[in-house]
């Protein structure tokens, strides 16, 4: 017999991508999902976003690469990955077995690298591509999300090189720059925006007089950034028509619902999965319970419906 919690409609559409529920994995925090398959059925996910891949292998930054902070964590992984050919050979066969939409995430130092990556991903069974325009931990990683003209050129060129849905992932810039970059990505043909990447930040060990990371600075994620990320989703959702995938410190169903109320269509969970590998299925169940309790038929009734 169908239980009441199963009856609620949690489906969402991120541009052309249909998802059974709004929960995605945040790039770089879930690998390709293999390790998490021992904790829960990955078919429960709304969608998977794989770790960012680059054209050539990258060794990443010197250790230590992560440290805990109050209400969050700092990382400076530096886009360590084995490169696109390894991804296609070793990760895609597993990712293709998942019964949910899978997006690759790509990054490059130059526009041309994004184009080549997008072309290489054609016909591989992906539901879409996330363009990482915003890694704070690599030199030049913020080149595209801090400049509307560059962001436009990049999305436009990639748009012309693939028919796959494109999600542009932005980093935390000042409000006016983010607004211009978001508009530029939309005008250039992005199907959706991901908001937001980690915040450039620093943590110091005063006794050793050293940074707690091998690189001096890193990217802050987790609950510490949540209120800022929600403000960004709210502001950007008022100026673009394309859907927004909100992320930043989502630990619980209520956190996820806050982003949806602020205007996000879907949400991604990152740091929470490190603290609790079952965070994602718990968030999905929590959303269903909330909809039931509140008598809400679908997330459309909640999205952006802030009482002002
Ligand atoms: C260890 C770690 C690695 C990350 N790697 C990537 C990455 O490869 N590509 C990317 O777009 N974002 C990456 N991110 C950023 C997350 O996808 C997400 O935008 C950010 O962590 C905010 O969400 P959260 O607070 O739920 O973690 C990484 C974050 C962490 C903590």
- The rounded Å distance from CA 3 to ligand 1 centre is 35
Class of domain 4-60+78-200+220-301: alpha beta
**Sequence ranges of the domains in the chain:** 4-60+78-200+220-301
Give dist(CA 100, CA 30) in Å, integer. Answer: 15
Nearest CA owner, ligand 1 atom 18? 197
CA-nearest residue, atom 19 of ligand 1? 197
Helix (H) or strand (E) holding 19: strand 17-19
List active site positions: 135
Q: Are 202 and 210 in contact (CB under 8 A)?
A: no
Distance 89 CA to ligand 1 centre (A): 23
Pocket test for ligand 1, best of 28, 57, 232, 253 (most atoms within 8 A of CB): 28
Q: Looking at ligand 1, which atom is closest to the CA of residue 198?
A: 20
Ligand 1, from 77, 83, 198: best to mutate by most atoms within 8 Å of Cβ? Answer: 198
Alpha carbon of 189 to ligand 1 centroid (Å): 24
Distance between Cα 269 and ligand 1 center (Å) = 9
Q: Could you tell me the distance, in angstroms and rounded to a whole number, from the CA of residue 95 to the centre of ligand 1?
A: 19
- Closest protein CA for atom 12 of ligand 1: 27
- The atom of ligand 1 lying closest to the CA of 27 is 17
CA of 192 to the centre of ligand 1 (A): 18
Q: What residue owns the CA closest to ligand 1's atom 26?
A: 270
Q: Whose CA is nearest to atom 3 of ligand 1?
A: 28
**Closest atom, ligand 1, to C-alpha of 65:** 1
Which residue blocks in the chain are alpha helix, DSSP H?
4-7, 84-86, 92-96, 111-120, 148-161, 175-187, 226-237, 253-262, 271-275, 279-294
CA pair distance 254, 285, nearest whole angstrom: 11
- Complete DSSP assignment for 35-69: GGGGTS-GGGSSBEEEEEE-SS-B--PPSP-EEEE
The pTM for the full model equals 0.96
Cα-based distances in Å from 70 to 163, 219, 258 = 42, 14, 21
pLDDT at 144: 86
Q: What is the pLDDT along the chain (308 residues), one digit of tens a residue?
A: 444 455 789 999 999 999 999 999 999 999 999 999 999 999 999 999 999 999 999 999 999 999 999 999 999 998 999 999 999 999 999 999 999 999 999 999 899 999 999 999 999 999 999 999 987 666 666 778 889 999 999 999 999 999 999 999 999 988 999 999 999 999 999 999 999 999 999 999 999 999 999 999 999 999 999 999 999 999 999 999 999 999 999 999 999 999 999 999 999 999 999 999 999 999 999 999 999 999 999 999 999 999 98
Structure tokens at 49: 């976003």
Backbone φ, ψ for residue 266 (5° rounding): -135, 170
Q: Which residues line ligand 1 (CB under 6 A)?
A: 26-29, 51-52, 73, 75, 77, 79, 105, 132, 169, 197-198, 221-222, 225, 247-250, 269-272
| Probe target for ligand 1 pocket from 23, 25, 29, with the most ligand atoms within 8 Å of CB | 29
Which ligand 1 atom sits closest to the C-alpha of 75? 1
- Could you tell me which of 149, 146, 81, 143 has the C-alpha nearest to residue 117? 81
């Amino acid at each position: 017999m169908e239980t009441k919690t199963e009856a609620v409609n949690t489906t969402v559409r991120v541009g052309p991508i249909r998802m059974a529920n709004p929960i995605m994995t945040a790039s770089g925090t879930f690998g390709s999902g293999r390790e998490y398959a021992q904790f829960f059925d990955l078919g429960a996910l709304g969608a998977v976003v794989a770790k960012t891949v680059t054209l050539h292998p990258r060794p990443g930054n010197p250790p230590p690469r992560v440290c805990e902070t109050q209400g969050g964590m700092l990382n400076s992984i530096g886009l360590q990955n084995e490169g696109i050919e390894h991804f296609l050979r070793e990760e895609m066969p597993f990712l293709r077995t998942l019964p949910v939409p899978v997006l690759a995430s790509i990054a490059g130092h130059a526009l041309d690298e994004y184009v080549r990556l997008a072309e290489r991903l054609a016909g591989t069974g992906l539901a879409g591509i996330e363009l990482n325009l915003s890694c704070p931990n690599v030199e030049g990683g913020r080149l595209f999300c801090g400049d509307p003209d560059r962001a436009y050129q990049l999305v436009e060129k990639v748009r012309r090189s693939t028919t796959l849905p494109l999600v542009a992932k932005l980093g935390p810039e000042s409000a006016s720059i983010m607004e211009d970059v978001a508009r530029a990505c939309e005008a250039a043909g992005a199907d959706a925006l991901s908001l937001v990447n980690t915040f450039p930040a620093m943590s110091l060990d005063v006794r050793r007089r050293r940074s707690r990371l091998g690189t001096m600075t890193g990217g802050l994620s987790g609950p510490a950034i949540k209120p800022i990320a929600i403000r960004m989703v709210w502001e950007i959702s008022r100026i673009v028509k394309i859907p927004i995938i909100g992320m930043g410190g989502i630990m619980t169903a209520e956190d996820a619902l806050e982003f949806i109320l602020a205007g996000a269509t879907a949400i991604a969970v990152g740091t929470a999965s490190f603290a609790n590998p079952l965070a994602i299925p718990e968030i999905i169940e929590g959303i269903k319970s909330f909809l039931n309790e509140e008598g809400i038929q679908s997330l459309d009734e909640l999205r952006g419906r802030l009482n002002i």
